[in-house]
Amino acid sequence: MAAYTDDCKMCDDVPELSDSDEEQWQSMEEASENTTLQCLFCDRTLTSVSETFQHCTADHDVDIPDLVQKHKLDDYGYIKMINYIRTTKCSAESLALTSDDPLPWVGDEYMKPVLQDDPLLQIDVEEFSEASCGTGGSSAADQVNVEDRVQRAEEALARAMQDMHKLKLLAQGLVLNTDTSHGSSCSGPSPS
């Protein structure tokens, strides 16, 4: 185990947890509720990701979650596909005819977002497969369950904050233990 010096400021390096973390999370949630999205294929503005997917399915006959499944896209493939659609302004018909050999959006140039803070790029692609397995192929709006995502993220944040608190206590305990043992070794030889 490494020896610590008397001027160790390990406790000072551990950040204090505050309510500002929760306030920041709440402000992010409020911002996501006030979101406007541009349709991938027309000029229509929509208010949520699920509404956008539903619109694309109903009005353009393009089911985005089905495309993700069909082409076996991971998060990066999905992001590239959305940016490809926005960059090239391809039609819904041409997108439906896209074959896997090779996909037109494989280039890294499609990793750069076309729209800043595009909510369509903030989707977890794994949820598409979970939702389609769990619901038996229900609509795209049912597959993108934003409330479930928010709840899981809040739970993960709470666990992370608990872990940080435990680590802080452990670090403080180590520093105090080191200071105690270091102080006893500096007292000189014990009398015989």
Q: What is the reported pTM? A: 0.53
**E strand or H helix at 37:** strand 37-38
Residue 67 near residue 53 (C-beta atoms within 8 A): no
Comparing 101 with 67, the larger pLDDT belongs to: 67
β-strands 45-46, 37-38 pairing: antiparallel
- Of 8-22, 30-44, 142-156, the poorest mean pLDDT is in 8-22
- What is residue 79's three-state secondary structure? helix
pLDDT value of residue 87: 94
Comparing 179 with 4, the larger pLDDT belongs to: 179
Q: Helix H segments across the chain?
A: 10-13, 20-33, 49-60, 64-70, 75-88, 92-96, 126-135, 140-143, 146-185
pLDDT value of residue 100: 78
pLDDT value of residue 27: 56
pLDDT, average across residues 170-177: 87
